[in-house]
Amino acid sequence: MSKLNAVSSAETTVASVRETAGSDVTWRDYITISKTGIVMSNLITTFAGLFLAAYYTGTTLAANFWTAAAALAGSALIIAGGCALNNYIDRDIDHLMERTKERPTVSGRLTGRQTLTYGLAVSMAGTGFLAAASVTAALIGVAGLIIYVVLYTMWTKRTTTLNTIVGSFAGAVPPLIGWAAIDPGLHPYAWSLFLIMFIWQPPHFLALAMRRVEEYRAAGIPMLPVVAGFSITKRQIIWYVAALIPISLLIADFGAVYTAAAVILGGGWLIYGLRGFRTKDDTKWATGMFLYSLNYLTIMFALMVIVHMF
């Protein structure tokens, strides 16, 4: 058999396996491409937006139960849909990265058509639920979806280091969606939540990019650590963390407990970040920064709710 025929035969075999695998798809495969971890973390900030909007408009979530339920369901679905569409678009490079090479879209358990259909269907369902909450919430959700899928995944992710900034716009909309479901007028506090989320994301994702720099390099994704190196990336991370402290204090009206936590948590993150200039293990430092960012976000948004409960 000639080399060309051997390659052709191998490709046919792989295609056949993938097509067969696609027919054996299970609900777990769809859960995987929905990125439930991302969905759940974003629902925390969506709920905070809902709760705070109800508080500052003089009502309660109990009195707006169905609106809140529609907003949470819609947010979960539209985020899951966006993640699925991200999987569909990135299936040509995901096999090059360790953390994504086992995705159903790479292994062939889900075909491109199945992934695209699921992503679009779930996104539309999410939009419908958000529209049931409020038209403003739906418009914000669709805007976030377009930014994430089109401007980030299809365009800037593969062309510029500014991809992190573009993606941050999409990642910052969940608290706006929650607030808009109760108060479509969007109080300035809602935009403060948006700003906190927007500034939080670059240090979070740049730390992740440092941990996975070789994977991003192999996939040809121009993350800042790949293009500019660790030194510049660390400086960028620290600038964002420093900026987050005063931005988190835009809502100092939430009380002394919240304000103290914002200063302590933000200051602790900044101090840990500055240690990066002296560390000999950049990967270990980046891992610590990444984990700190996750705890920071969870504690801060949980605290925003808690201080308004008493």
Q: Residue 63 belongs to what domain range?
A: 24-186
Indicate whether 268 belongs to any domain: yes
* Cβ neighbours for 156, distance < 8 A, ≥ 6 positions apart: 162, 163, 166, 167
What is the number of structural domains in the chain?
2
Rounded alpha-carbon distances, angstroms, from residue 101 to 91, 95, 215: 9, 4, 11
* Residue 304 · residue 258 · CB < 8 Å: yes
Same domain, 147 and 220: no
Cβ-based neighbours of 84, under 8 Å, separated by 6 or more = 30, 33, 34, 115, 118, 119, 122
Average pLDDT over residues 298-306: 96
In a domain, 177, yes or no: yes
* Contact call for residues 228 and 222 (beta carbons, < 8 A): no
Q: Is the pLDDT of residue 8 over 60?
A: no
The domain boundary residue, chosen from 186, 202, 233: 186
Spacing of C-alpha 172 from chain mean position: 8
Look up residue 225 and give its two tokens.
């650590």
Domain containing residue 166: CATH number:
1.10.357.140
pLDDT value, residue 5: 40
Assess whether 91 and 162 both reside in one domain: yes
Q: Are 108 and 22 in contact (CB under 8 A)?
A: yes
Residue 107 banded pLDDT, cuts 50, 70, 90 = confident
Is 285 a member of any domain?
A: yes
CA–CA distance, 235 with 273 (Å, rounded to integer): 9
**Which single residue is written with the structure tokens 């002296």?**
278
Percent of the chain with pLDDT over 70: 93
Assigned domain for 7 exists:
no
275 in the same domain as 251: yes
- In this structure, are 164 and 58 located in the same domain? yes
Among 186, 206, 226, the domain boundary falls at: 186
Q: Are residues 173 and 193 in the same domain?
A: no
Label residue 129 exposed, middle or buried (CB < 10 Å: 0-12, 13-18, 19+). buried
Q: What is the pLDDT of residue 13?
A: 33
Read off the DSSP letter of residue 32. Answer: H
Query: What is the CA angle 11-16-17, rounded to 5?
Result: 100
The answer to whether residues 35 and 178 belong to one domain is yes
Do 227 and 204 belong to one domain? yes
Close Cβ partners of 252 (under 8 Å, ≥ 6 residues apart): 258, 259, 262
In a domain, 12, yes or no: no
Domain boundary among 186, 208, 224: 186
Task: Map tokens 């510029």 to a residue.
Answer: 160
Do residues 170 and 239 share a domain?
Answer: no
User: Is residue 143 scored above 70 in pLDDT?
Assistant: yes
Do 266 and 293 share a domain, yes or no? yes
Query: What is the rounded average pLDDT for all residues in the chain?
Result: 90
| One domain, residues 193 and 142 | no
CB 63 within 8 A of CB 101: no
User: Does residue 300 sit within a domain?
Assistant: yes
Residue 28 has pLDDT above 90, yes or no: no
- The predicted-structure confidence for 203-261, as pLDDT tens digits, reads as follows 999 999 999 999 999 999 999 999 999 999 999 999 999 999 999 999 999 999 999 99
Same domain? For 70 and 143 the reply is yes
Asked, for residue 2, whether it belongs to a domain, the answer is no
Cβ 45 vs Cβ 174: under 8 Å? yes
Distance CA 75, CA 137 (A): 9
Helical ranges in 155-255 per DSSP H: 163-171, 174-182, 188-211, 213-219, 224-228, 230-248
29 and 99 fall within a common domain: yes
Residue 235: what pLDDT? 96
pLDDT-based confidence at 284, cuts 50/70/90? very high
